[in-house]
């Protein structure tokens, strides 16, 4: 069984991250940590 929410946004990835972060903040939530996967995978190689 698959269960998820999906939304396609007509904006850049960076703008989507900013908008999501702002919406979470307004709802009383926050981002604890951010992981840059490009950096993480480069460190492993």
What's the whole-number mean pLDDT along residues 20-37?
92
Higher-confidence residue of 15 and 1: namely 15
Encoded tokens for 25:
């903040």
pLDDT at 45: 62
Instruction: Look at residue 28 and tell me if it is in a domain.
Output: yes
Q: 3-class DSSP state for residue 18?
A: helix
Our count of domains for the chain comes to 1
Cα–Cα distance between 11 and 8 in angstroms, integer?
A: 9
Q: How many CB atoms lie within 10 A of CB 16?
A: 13
Look up the domain containing 22 and give its range.
13-44
Instruction: Look at residue 30 and tell me if it is in a domain.
Output: yes
Query: Which residues make Cβ contacts (< 8 Å) with residue 24, sequence separation at least 6?
Result: 30, 31
Q: pTM to 2 decimals?
A: 0.62
Instruction: Look at residue 3 and tell me if it is in a domain.
Output: no
* 43, pLDDT greater than 80: no
pLDDT band, residue 29 (cuts 50/70/90):
very high
* 35, pLDDT greater than 90: no
Instruction: Look at residue 7 and tell me if it is in a domain.
Output: no
């Amino acid at each position: 069984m698959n269960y998820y929410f999906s939304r396609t946004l007509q904006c850049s990835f960076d703008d989507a991250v900013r908008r999501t972060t702002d919406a979470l903040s307004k709802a009383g939530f926050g981002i604890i940590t951010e992981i840059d996967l490009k950096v993480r995978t480069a460190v492993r190689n």
